[in-house]
Amino acid sequence: MRNVVIAGYLRTPISRAYPAKPERDAFNALRMDECAARLIKELLRREGLDPGKVNRCIIGCANQSGEQWLYGGRAVSLLADLPYTTPAMAMDIQCGSSMGAVHAGTMEIKLGYSDIVLAGGLEHMTHVPMRHGTRPNPNLLRQQKFDLKKIGKTVEEMYFPEEDRYALPSMGDTAELLAEEANISREEMDRWAEKSHRRAVKALKEGFFSEEILPIEVETGANGKTVIDRDLSIREDTSYEKIASLPPAFRENGRITAGNSSPLNSGASMVLLMSEEKAKELGIRPLGSIVSLGWGGVDPMFMGKGPLPASLMALEKAGLTKDDIDFWEINEAFAVVTLWNIKQMGLDPEKVNVKGGAIALGHALGATGARLVGTLARILNHEGGRYGLASACIGGGQGLATIIKAYEPS
């Protein structure tokens, strides 16, 4: 099979989302399908690539309702001025959607069906809040696919009459269960959250993110405009003490808080994938190579365990061990997820999320997977690593993983 390389990577800044107060989101006047299209145009411009050479455009999004209805991916590809002859695809694997897009594109190229694939994702959590437009099948609860006893609820208590719909257990509920089962303390999670912000602040000040962020001009009211060129959830003034002072977010006397969880966010990301042969033909120096892919399923009530089977699969398929991996990106949906997976795999925490994670940078659901892959490729180049592994937990009890190698011409 052919080698697949990351020929380019670009993302928007990640804004803070405020579903109840939309005017507070810096991206409130924007649509993320438009932003994803901007990323495509800029990537192609930078590489001097004819849009007609792109064989597929694959777009991930966790909640494809409202303005995030992707029209099978065509909404973004057409806005990006890709020709009608370039097919598209929409991908939904919840928080792993855009990593799934990278996986699909990688497999197309490896098998010789495509030479060039754009793979990315988007989410506007102010305009399309979590659960917006969803109506879960109540039989998922009645047939005990989710063990509600673990969170002290009955099926009837999961019904919201004002919306005439049932809800599934929240991701916060699953994080509480994982922390309780593994006896991961509130202090451990709060200290990891503080470290995430500290690392992100350092990377921000060093200009690390400027090479992957496309600045976005936004309206500020009264005909004013400003340019957003950094992630807006990074807190330069935070401390362990401030994080530790926050109340539990999901249950009384719980361990999960707003401080040790990822915030609500809006953003888009895009990875340009190519066969190594095509990159050489075009004179493009890749950021890295896609070495291996992995996925796995776990109990939905412990969705934070998902990265473990996915990472083990990716390592096995690559013929590697955890000791071969120089840097890890384990998505910080919650601090407990990253900590649990570090402990289960016996990882060195100093090699995990070295530029900060989603607690600080933000977690725009459908955009996160491609961000993890693209940022990790840049970390390998920046820090001199050879192999990196990016992984994400996924609502519903799944995990995805991608192993990247710093580019070495074959």
Which residues are part of the catalytic machinery? Answer: 95, 363, 393
What is the Cα–Cα distance from 400 to 103, expressed in whole angstroms?
9
Bridge-based pairing state of the strands 88-91 and 56-60: parallel
28: left (phi over 0), alpha (psi -120 to 50) or beta: alpha
Distance between CA atoms of residues 28 and 18, nearest Å? 9
Type of residue numbered 111 = L
Contact 9, 212 (CB under 8 A): yes
Find how far residue 159's CA is from the centre of its chain: 29
User: What CA–CA distance (Å, rounded) separates 213 from 205?
Assistant: 14
Q: Which helix (H) or strand (E) holds 120?
A: strand 116-124
> Crossing angle of helices 186-205/335-345, nearest 10°?
100
Residue 262 burial (C-beta neighbours within 10 Å; 0-12, 13-18, 19+):
buried
Yes or no: say if 366 and 352 are a contact pair by the CB < 8 Å rule. Answer: no
Dihedral of alpha carbons 363, 193, 245, 255, sign:
positive
Please say whether the beta carbons of 307 and 399 come within 8 A: yes
- Between β-strands 15-16 and 265-275, what pairing exists: parallel, antiparallel or unpaired? antiparallel
Handedness of CA 198, 203, 209, 210 (dihedral sign): positive
* Contact status, residue 399 vs residue 96, Cβ threshold 8 Å: yes
Q: What is the DSSP letter of 334?
A: B
Instruction: Give me 337's structure tokens.
Output: 């997820």
Burial class of residue 145, CB neighbours in 10 A (0-12, 13-18, 19+): middle
Angle at 269 between CA 286 and CA 329, to 5 degrees: 70
Distance between CA atoms of 148 and 138, rounded to whole angstroms? 12
The separation between the first and the last C-alpha atoms of the chain, rounded to the nearest angstrom, is 13
